[in-house]
């Protein structure tokens, strides 16, 4: 059976090549192990620690006990105190509070009357799974524990920014970041590797182009592609799914530009580590899966343990989801989300510096 001998010889040759490739062998074992441990630990549908704000218009002992009971449920995290309705709305608009609780000024009278809501829970409809959290809070006998006998209408739930409760409104803006992550990282992950495999790297070494100029030059064409993709996704979302754009287009494109550059810089770093385009693709997949599953796109971000949330803070998509949902759905300005912008800028600078240093080292 000569054909079997030839088949086994080719297979043995492939095994020897794989065994000599340390990066690939590490990925073969590391990808399933790390992903299973990370996602099995991080993905959790039980939401805890949701950012909230309270407008206590009653300011009585009953309302204070009510707010204390809400905090004791552990469903809500740090509860901010708002002095006015405008301040409460600004906290939600800027993404600092995902749930707002408004206590009526005549709390006791409304509880006794039973015809009007004594407490209103306003949910950020741009975020997934929060409506279920609000429904769980409304079903808890919090007012009874506070010393009252509430009626069935004691708590009213209002969904802000997505009153029709359409899934497309939540998904499409965040999907823009997911698509950009997939395309931008893959495009640039093989950039330096492709130059090496085609024999162009030696030519680049002889040119006066510096490492920083080469890195920036690699980014620029894909930045334009990313902006075109952003326009396409937002346009299709508006015309096909009726997803509104409440904020300014200038803020939207500036936020997208920053995210595109951050994603491209991550791809460049991968390109300086990988030795082959196959390795570059594998590493891109390793970075894409955490971005999709841990950024709040599919699963509630607040439901993850603190350690997983810290890891997710390193991912650009985590911050871009907040930015694009804030601009597109909540009508927020880019200046309202300075923290998210600062994190993206920091990520971009770090990735570019590390990529440049690694490439310079390889040139030496």
Angle made by CA atoms 15, 17, 19, in degrees to the nearest 5? 70
In the chain, what are the domain boundaries? 50-160, 167-363
End-to-end CA distance of the chain: give it in Å, rounded: 51
CA nearest to 138, candidates 157, 124, 151: 157
Pull the structure tokens for residue 52.
């909230």
Which segment of 31-45, 154-168, 178-192, 285-299 scores lowest on mean pLDDT?
A: 31-45
pLDDT at residue 180, rounded to an integer: 92
The structure tokens listed for 307 are 């350690």
Closest to 347 (Cα-Cα) out of 250, 253, 260, 221: 260
Whether residue 234 is predicted with pLDDT greater than 90 in this model: the reply is yes
Instruction: Say which range, 47-56, 76-85, 148-157, 240-249, has the weakest mean pLDDT.
Output: 148-157
Contact 340, 251 (CB under 8 A): no
Q: Domain 50-160 belongs to what topology?
A: abc type-2 transporter like fold (3.40.1710)
DSSP secondary structure of 99-147: EEEEE-TTHHHHHHH-SS-SEEEEEETTSTTHHHHHHHHHHS-HHHHTT
Overall average pLDDT of the 76-103 stretch: 88
Residue listed under structure tokens 């002992």: 61
């Amino acid at each position: 059976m000569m054909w079997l001998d030839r088949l086994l010889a080719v297979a043995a040759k492939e095994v020897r090549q794989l065994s000599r490739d340390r990066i690939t062998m590490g990925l073969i074992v590391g990808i399933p192990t790390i992903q299973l441990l990370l996602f099995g630990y991080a993905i959790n549908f039980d939401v805890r620690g949701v950012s909230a704000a309270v407008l206590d218009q009653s300011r009585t002992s009953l309302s204070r006990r009510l707010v204390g009971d809400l905090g004791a449920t552990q469903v809500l995290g740090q509860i901010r105190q708002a002095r006015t309705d405008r301040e409460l709305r600004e906290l939600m608009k800027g993404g600092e509070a995902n749930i707002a609780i408004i206590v009526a000024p005549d709390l006791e009278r409304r509880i006794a009357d039973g015809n009007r809501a004594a407490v209103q829970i306003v949910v950020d409809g741009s975020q997934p799974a929060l409506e279920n959290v609000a429904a769980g809070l409304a079903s808890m006998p919090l007012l009874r524990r506070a010393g009252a006998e509430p009626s069935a209408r004691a708590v009213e739930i209002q969904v802000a920014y997505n009153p029709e409760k359409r899934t497309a409104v939540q998904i499409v803006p965040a999907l823009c970041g997911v698509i950009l992550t997939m395309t931008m990282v893959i495009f640039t992950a093989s950039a330096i590797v492709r130059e090496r495999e085609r024999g162009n790297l030696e030519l680049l070494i002889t040119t006066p182009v510096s490492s920083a100029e080469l890195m920036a030059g690699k980014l620029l064409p894909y930045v334009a592609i990313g902006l075109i993709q952003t326009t396409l996704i937002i346009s299709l979302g508006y015309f096909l799914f009726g997803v509104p754009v409440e904020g300014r287009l200038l803020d939207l494109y500036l936020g997208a530009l920053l995210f595109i550059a951050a994603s491209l810089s991550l791809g460049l770093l991968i390109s300086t580590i990988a030795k082959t385009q196959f390795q570059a693709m594998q590493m891109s997949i390793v970075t894409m899966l955490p971005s999709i599953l841990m950024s709040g796109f599919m699963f509630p971000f607040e439901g993850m343990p603190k350690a997983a949330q810290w890891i997710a803070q390193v991912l650009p998509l985590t911050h871009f989801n907040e930015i694009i949902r804030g601009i597109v759905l909540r009508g927020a300005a880019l200046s309202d989300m300075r923290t998210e912008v600062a994190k993206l800028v920091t990520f971009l600078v770090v990735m570019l510096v590390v990529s440049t240093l690694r490439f310079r080292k390889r040139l030496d």
